[in-house]
C-alpha cells in the first residue's frame, strides 16, 4: 500500500514537471541561456552614466535565476551588474539588475541601489524633521530604504532624482516606499503616550493603504527604550560608528520598551 501510494505521488510529481516544462520551462530556460552578461553590462553602464551624470566602471556582470520546487523549472532570471565610481578612492560598489522581457531581446533596468545612497540621507532628514515636533530626547537610525517593487534591493529605474523642493508627502504619494526607521529613547524620557504621538504625526505623510502584510516590505517605525546608561552607550556607538566603536553588550538586557508601528 505504501509503495503504491509512493508510486502515485512520484507519478504526480513527474506529470507536474512535464506540464510545467511544456508551459514555462522552455521560455525561461532559453531566456536564461540567452542572457548576454556583456550586453547587460553595456546597457547598465549607459543607464548609470546618464541617470547620475557620473562615470562608472563595470566590476562584474553575472546572471542568476530562481527555480521552482519542480526540478529544472526556472521561474525568473536576471543579470546583476556591479559598478564602482570611476577614479573614486572608495572601493564601494553598487548593483544594477538587468532583465529582458520574455520573448524579447531588449534589455531593461529593473532597479539599482546607487539611488539608495542618495535617497536614504534625504529620507532620514525628512523623518527626523517630523519627529522634532514632539521635542523628545532620542536619536534615530534609518535601517533601510527602498522601493517595494524591488524586493528590498534598491529603487526602480523609474524613480526620479529628489531635489530640495520635494516633500516626503509628495514622494510617498508617487512611489511605494519601504523603510524601517528606528527611534531610540532613554527610559527617563519615555511615557505611555509617546507611541501614540509618534504614530499620529507620521500618519499624514504616508498613504493609508496598509493591507496587513507584515512581511516588512512597508513603512515601519520601531521604537526602542533602553535604560539611560545603555542609551548613552548606544548613542555614542552610533555617533562614533566610523571609528568602529560599536561594540555593545546584549541589547535585550537593557531594553525597557519596544513597539513596532506599521504605517502602510
Write down the pLDDT at residue 152.
Answer: 85
Domain boundaries, the chain: 28-110, 115-262
Q: What is the pTM assigned to this prediction?
A: 0.82
188-193-194-200 Cα dihedral, nearest 10 degrees: -170
Residue 22 makes CB contacts below 8 A (sequence gap 6+) with: none
**Cell 525628512 -> residue:** 126
Q: Are 127 and 142 in contact (CB under 8 A)?
A: yes
CB 108 within 8 A of CB 100: yes
Lowest mean pLDDT among 14-23, 96-105, 185-194: 14-23
Which residue stretches of the chain are H helix? Answer: 2-23, 25-34, 37-52, 114-131, 168-174, 194-203, 228-239
Residue 75 neighbours by CB distance under 10 Å? 14
Which DSSP helix (H) or strand (E) runs through 66? strand 56-67
The answer to whether residue 181 scores a pLDDT higher than 90 is yes
Cell numbers for 115, please give them: 539611488
3-class DSSP state of 61: strand
pLDDT number for residue 26: 52
Q: How confident is the model at residue 211 (pLDDT cuts 50, 70, 90)?
A: low
Q: Which of 107-116, 149-158, 225-234, 242-251 is predicted least confidently? A: 242-251
CA distance linking residue 245 with residue 229, whole number of Å = 16
- Give CA separation, 221 vs 3, 131, 168, in Å: 53, 11, 15
| pLDDT for residue 77 is more than 80 | yes
The answer to whether 264 and 209 have CB atoms below 8 angstroms apart is yes
**Residue 244 CB contacts under 8 Å (≥ 6 apart), including other chains:** none
What would the mean pLDDT of 177-193 be, rounded to a whole number? 96
Amino acid at each position: 500500500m505504501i509503495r503504491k501510494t509512493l508510486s502515485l505521488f512520484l507519478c504526480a510529481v513527474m506529470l507536474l514537471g512535464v506540464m510545467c516544462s511544456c508551459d514555462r520551462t522552455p521560455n525561461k530556460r532559453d531566456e536564461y541561456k540567452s542572457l548576454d552578461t556583456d550586453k547587460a553590462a553595456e546597457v547598465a553602464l549607459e543607464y548609470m552614466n546618464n541617470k547620475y551624470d557620473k562615470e562608472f566602471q563595470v566590476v562584474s556582470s553575472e546572471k542568476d535565476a530562481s527555480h521552482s520546487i519542480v526540478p529544472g523549472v526556472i521561474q525568473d532570471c536576471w543579470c546583476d551588474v556591479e559598478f564602482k565610481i570611476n577614479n573614486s578612492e572608495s572601493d564601494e560598489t553598487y548593483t544594477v539588475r538587468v532583465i529582458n522581457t520574455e520573448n524579447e531581446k531588449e534589455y531593461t533596468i529593473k532597479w539599482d541601489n546607487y539611488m539608495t545612497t542618495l535617497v536614504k540621507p534625504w529620507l532620514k532628514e525628512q523623518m527626523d524633521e517630523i519627529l522634532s515636533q514632539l521635542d523628545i530626547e532620542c536619536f534615530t537610525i534609518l535601517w533601510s530604504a527602498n522601493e517595494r517593487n524591488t524586493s528590498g534591493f534598491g529603487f526602480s529605474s523609474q524613480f526620479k532624482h529628489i531635489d530640495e523642493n520635494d516633500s516626503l508627502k509628495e514622494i510617498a504619494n508617487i512611489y511605494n516606499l519601504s523603510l524601517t526607521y528606528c527611534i531610540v529613547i532613554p527610559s527617563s524620557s519615555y511615557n505611555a503616550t509617546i507611541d501614540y504621538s509618534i504614530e499620529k504625526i507620521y500618519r499624514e505623510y504616508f498613504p493609508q493603504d496598509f493591507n496587513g502584510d507584515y512581511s516588512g516590505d512597508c513603512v515601519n517605525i520601531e521604537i526602542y527604550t533602553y535604560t539611560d546608561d545603555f542609551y548613552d552607550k548606544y548613542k555614542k556607538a552610533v555617533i562614533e560608528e566610523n571609528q568602529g566603536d560599536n561594540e555593545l553588550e546584549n541589547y535585550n538586557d537593557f531594553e525597557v520598551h519596544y513597539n513596532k508601528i506599521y504605517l502602510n
